[in-house]
Each structure stands twice: as structure tokens, then as C-alpha cells.
Structure 1
């Protein structure tokens, strides 16, 4: 498996600056080519780490989550990574190696490792390798529900999670669900969706869930609202609620993306 991650650097001075980035009222596309050194941030509490912040809650757009790509230099990381005690998180390793400590229990992470971190736990992470470690980091405030306990931490690997094929797709479209979709303790899901070449979403999905989609591998034509957009490894798509979407995988390898969506909770009935 391959897992895309921002390359950084800076294009040469003879490169045409016209790009394929898109920002609309319904969706945004942040291409891999725009994720350069000059748009990274340093984060309080993190050492020898830089971050591409790809999504954050925005009034009138997508409001439930933040998504980062963070790169830890050898020895880099954090003993105090999360500044918000109400925030839960998912980490997915794209490159390199790291050690994750959850309430005193150590976990070795490698490319393809997935971790769910409930709100309020103590965790830390360090790059234990000799090369940079690239992590995708999703953050969302936890929305508790009456009668439901807080979820437990989860640490898995891509290889451990079977792919569930969508019905009537002849094996062309499937999803790896790292968190049990029937467990109502979780108020969001983070999945890897895979399309074989030629596979597609055969209708324009239109639904209440917000999405962050980071392309890990392969290429596709993606319908976003009324526009068909070509996407490939390292491109990020950010969708507000009810933005129509569909997909047709192109190329000769699987098209895979890391997907965020908010689920399993009643909508709030006020805007405050």
C-alpha cells in the first residue's frame, strides 16, 4: 500500500502559478501541489514538527472538524499534543515510524497504522525513526449522548481491517471501517474508501454529513456540487453538509482516500 502525504518544498521560479485549487460555498479542493513549506504552521506543545492545516470549523461551511497533515522530524513529537480536553482525535500514519503513548501504554506505529483517541485521555507521540514521520490528524469535539459511555481508544493497522464491499458493485467499491459503525458511542467515522479502476459512486450522494477526503492513492474524477474535478494522490477535498458528490475511479490502480464524516447524533436545533 502507498499513503500520500504532502511533499513540501517549493516549485521552481519557471513554474506557471495557475493551479487547480478551488474554494466555493459548497466545497473546497486543496491540491497536493499547494501543500508547500510556506503554508505550514508550528504548533504549541509540539517539538520539531510542522503542520499543514487543511480544514477547520468555519461558520456557514463545514463546522464539525479540523484536519491536519503533520510531519515529525526524527525525535520530534509532543508530550502535550491536544490543547482541548473536549477533543477526540484520529491519527493515521502515512510515512515513517512513531511511538504513541496512551495513558501509559505504548504502541509502535508504522505506515498504515490507525489510532482513535477519545476526549480526555492522556496521550503523547514521538518520531522514533531516522526519517520524518507523516501523520494525518483529525480532531473533533466529542458530542456526548445520554445513556452512552465514552468510547475506548483503538489502535489498528490498515492490514487488520477487512474491506466491506458495497452491495451490487461487483467488488468495485468497498470501505474499511476502523470504528464499528453500529457503536453509537462514536459521533464520527474515519474510514478508508477504495474504488477499483472504473468503480464509481453511481449517484450524486447528498446528505447531512460533512466530509474531509484525503486521497491516499490513485486517481479519479470526482463530482463536487455541479463540478467534475480530477484528483490524485495528496489532494484534499473538503465538503460541507448536503454538497452533492459522486466518483469515477480512473487510472490502473485502486483509488483510495481517508474519509471523515460526522454521524450518530441528533442535529442541534439552534445555531448557538
Structure 2
């Protein structure tokens, strides 16, 4: 099956471009359009060479509470021998362009567009671009929340091609989710999946639930209901939804609508800040 994974290219808009855009920031949700991912909105990180990044989400009062999400851009020859400096942080990598060499647990893995890697806390991983093209990938980070009687999850390296999408009941395959992690594995406190809508498919009710969401549109376009608003989104856009923000979707086509989805799962609701 043919797939595409949108990746930002940077650059800078001309002086003749209108300032009006689709960027929205509210108490319930945010939309960061792909056009905002320019050279002047990038960041850099210590310990990484030949690398810049766009920060899509970060723990912040009134914004994302449970996770951070970056789009990393690594030039040929760049990378890091110590990418993660927080001993409590778990991570998910998802490659959208180029190739990477991931080393973790003494094993080396070649990543390509559509590759997924789950990295538990203290995994001790490294990542480098040994290729000749620019590498771009999502890096989703979360402070792992232990649960009594459960160990931390294992390292997991997969490709989207390895996973059969699970169809939403009653949709005849028009709405499906690619789950890289077994939903019954309660060691995991976050899921990062790919949700696919065929043209004409819908979320037919206003979902309102406890999970915080980060959605990055990989392919296509749709109209998304966010709280009280209908918002047009397209490949390269990012959406943040706080817990209990009403949401729905209509994928009008002409092609498939697909997004990378983060959500926090499988833990008690914290009654006080974690130490």
C-alpha cells in the first residue's frame, strides 16, 4: 500500500505573504499549521550535532501536561551519543524522511520512513544519520509512571508494514488504527498509533474522554471538530487536545486522512503532583 509521511522543510516565507493563517491556541486545544514550521521557529539541543528541531508540544500550564513532541531534523553525519538526558523519560521515535541508525541494548537498527521505536527509561540509546539525505523524525517524550507489580516495557522497534491495522467496528475498514503496542500490555502508560480514515469516513460522535492527545497529520486533509469549532487541517499540521476536549472528524477526501496520535493511558488519575 502506498503511503506518504509529511515532513517540514523549513525555509522562510516571502514578504508578500499574508500574515493570516490557521494557527489557533485556546484553553481546550491548539492547532499548529505546517506553515509555521520555518527556519526561525527551530530550536537546538546540547549533545546533538548537525541537528535542529521544531517543538510541537511541551509540558506547560494551559498546554500539554503529560508529554513533549519534537520533529527532529538531522543532517548527514549528525546525531547524538546521548540523546536523552532525563533518566525518567521514555520515548517514541517515528521516522518520516531519511534513514537513521538507532543503537540500543547492544543492537543496531536501521530506521526508514514508517519506522517506530519505543525506548523505555534508561535505555541508553544513540542515534545517527549515516546516510546521504536529511533525516526527519518525531520524538515523543513522557515521564514514565511506574505501576505496582509491573516492570517497565521492553525496547520495541517495528515498521508500519509489520502491523495490521485494527478496523473500528461497524466501519467496513474505513476507520482503522495501527497499534504498535498491544493495548492489553499495561506496562505501557502511553500509546503512539497511526489512525487512518478513508475518504468519507467520520468519527460519528463528539468523543469526550480523559486522554490528552497530540495529533500530527501525516497524509491528506480533513475537517476536525475541536471543542466548539470545526477546523480544516492538512498534512503537516499538529493538533493538541487537552483531556475531555470534545472531538470528531470528517475525512472528505479526495485521498486518505492519516495522523500520528499520542495519548496517555493505563494509569490512575494523579491526585497530586508526582515527586
Give the TM-score taking structure 1 as reference length: 0.98
What pairs up with 1:12-27 in 2 under 5 angstroms?
12-27=14-29
The residue that corresponds to 1:69 in the other structure is: 71
> Corresponding residue for 1:158?
160
TM-fit CA distance, 1:270: 2.0
Measure the CA separation in 2 of the matches of 1:250 and 1:80.
43
Cα separation, 2, equivalents of 1:270 and 1:71? 36
Aligned partner of 2:232 in structure 1 is: 230
Extract unaligned runs of 5+ from structure 1: none
* SS at 1:33 equivalent: helix
Deviation at 1:149? 1.1
Q: Supply the distance in 2 between the matched residues of 1:230 and 1:213 (Cα, whole angstroms).
A: 14
Q: Distance in 1 between matches of 2:155 and 2:43?
A: 27
- Aligned pairs, how many? 272
**Unpaired runs of at least 5, structure 2:** none
TM-score by length of 2: 0.97
State the Cα deviation string for residues 140-160 of structure 1 (Å, max 9, x = none).
000000000110000000111
**What is residue 86 of structure 1 aligned with on the other side?**
88
Retained in 1: the 8 A contact 2:198–2:253?
A: no
Which of 26, 38, 43 lines up with 1:36 in the alignment? 38
Find the aligned partners of 1:270 and 1:111 in 2 and give their Cα distance: 39
User: Residues 141 and 271 of structure 1: is their aligned pair in 2 closer, same or farther, counting only changes over 3 Å?
Assistant: closer
Candidates 218, 221, 243, aligned match of 2:220: 218
* Matching residue of 2:126: 124
Deviation >6 Å, runs of 4+ = none
- Indicate yes or no: 2:191 matched with 1:189: yes
Superposed displacement of residue 6, structure 1: 1.2
